[in-house]
Copies of this chain bind each other. A is one copy, B any other.
């Protein structure tokens, strides 16, 4: 009936993309959308919202996948106009790319340095090749120099590490990422740990994660997708401090770092995962929900607190014979229902997805600025 897959923004491959230190790239006056760019108007959240059509339902997430996807078929949705503000990730990502482009040009003019991003691809997975090509194109569009190494599926761990070490010591490279997943004969941990902490633009190194978790410490880089989630909240004026936040999913690349970021921003954070017994009840307490679990339409309207801000990281496919490809993309949140209850919500596609590569570019720029002490 419905199939669910990990996509660019929720998979390893995907979240291999974007953060930047906002303070560096976006000084406070620029946190809001550019006035000239038909900005999304921040609207106060947590205010009056239409009554929600509560669907009493309390079951564990594990049992949810297919049923959730099925019951959210568009044919069953009442055609009301959505009440929630749509958080336009495509627009924000474009703004960030433009900001990066301007900064890259300024840096080149001032000190003659061009940020460089190196991508290592092992094997010939079609999806990985697509992601790598997208990253390369995105780099070119903003003036970031990209370097690419393609290694055969059967190459050794040592060969990959040798290439990483070459990039580690190459002063024209400021960010290094290894496209995941790696072939099964390789140890991801050994390979990712070989990336210099100063060039780990993915932010996946445990040292980065530790610094993210600790008060009084700052990571060199924040993983791209969760950083993109935070950027959307910031740019749409969603208040975080003192708010209840629920993160659904606890992956190393999205859920866990997203929870740490919300915590660092002084939200009161709860993490809901596959062993949680009452995810609906807990999620309904949240002013901010970040869903990153990879289950199509898991989060129903009844899970949402009226007025809440919903960031949907999931990109899942569900069968749809009416579409030319026979499927359509949906998030972890049932958009049709949630958008009638929430105060603000990201669509899928066009929400978090476009943010990941934008934030990867920002992280690469940030790295170059830090290495060259360019303000």
A270 & B269 in contact (Cβ 8 Å cutoff): yes
The reply to whether the CB of A215 lies closer than 8 angstroms to some CB of chain B is yes
Nearest-neighbor residue (CB-CB) of A243 within chain B: B277
Q: Is the CB of A206 within 8 A of B215?
A: no
**Contact, CB under 8 Å: B211 / A206:** yes
What is the count of identical protomers in the complex?
A: 2
**Complex interface bits, A269-312 against B, C-beta within 8 A gives 1, otherwise 0:** 11111011100001000000000000000000000000000000
Whether the Cβ atoms of A268 and B282 lie closer than 8 Å is yes
Q: Which residue of B lies closest to A241 (CB)?
A: B275
Tell me if A189 is interfacial: C-beta within 8 Å of chain B. Answer: yes
Chain B, Cβ-Cβ closest to A256: B213
Q: Which residues of B contact A251 (CB under 8 A)?
A: 215
A215 touches B250 (CB 8 A): yes
| Bound Cα distance from A169 to B269, whole angstroms | 41
Complex formed: what's the CA distance from A207 to B205 in Å? 9
Residue among A216, A269, A282 with max Cβ neighbours from chain B (10 Å): A269
Q: How far is the CB of A279 from chain B (nearest CB, A)?
A: 8
Contacts of A242 in B (CB 8 A): 275-277
A271 touches B273 (CB 8 A): no
Interface string of A171-189 (1 = CB under 8 A from B): 0000000000000000001
| Contact status A260-B206, CB under 8 Å | no
A210: interface (CB < 8 Å): yes
CB distance from A26 to the nearest CB of B (A): 23
In which size bucket is the chain A interface?
Answer: 20 to 34
Residue of B nearest to A268 (CB): B276
- A279 — nearest CB in chain B belongs to which residue? B268
Residues in B whose Cβ lies below 8 Å from that of A213: 206, 209-210, 212-213, 256, 260
A213–B214 Cα distance when bound, in Å, is 11
Task: Given A206-B211, A210-B210, A211-B206, check contact A268 B271 (CB 8 Å).
Answer: yes
Q: How far is the CB of A32 from chain B (nearest CB, A)?
A: 23
Q: Does A373 contact B (CB under 8 A)?
A: no
- Bound together, the chains give a CA A279 to CA B210 distance in angstroms of 26
A308 to chain B, nearest CB (A): 15
Decide: B210 and A217 in contact? CB cutoff 8 A.
no
A128 located at the interface, meaning its Cβ lies under 8 Å from any Cβ of chain B in the complex: no
Question: If the complex has contacts A213-B213, A242-B276, are A269 and B271 also in contact, measured as CB distance less than 8 A?
Answer: yes
Known: A241-B275, A242-B275. A214 touches B252 (CB 8 A): yes
Chain B residues with CB under 8 A of A208: 210
Residue A168 CB within 8 A of the other chain: no
Task: Beyond A209-B213, A250-B263, A268-B282, list 15 extra A-B contacts (CB 8 Å).
Answer: A189-B217, A205-B210, A206-B210, A206-B213, A207-B210, A208-B210, A209-B209, A213-B256, A214-B256, A215-B250, A215-B256, A244-B282, A263-B271, A266-B275, A270-B270
Mind listing 26 A-B residue pairs with CB under 8 Å?
A189-B216, A205-B210, A206-B207, A206-B211, A206-B213, A209-B209, A209-B210, A209-B213, A209-B214, A210-B210, A210-B212, A212-B213, A213-B213, A213-B256, A216-B252, A241-B275, A242-B277, A266-B273, A268-B271, A268-B273, A268-B276, A268-B277, A268-B282, A269-B270, A269-B271, A270-B270
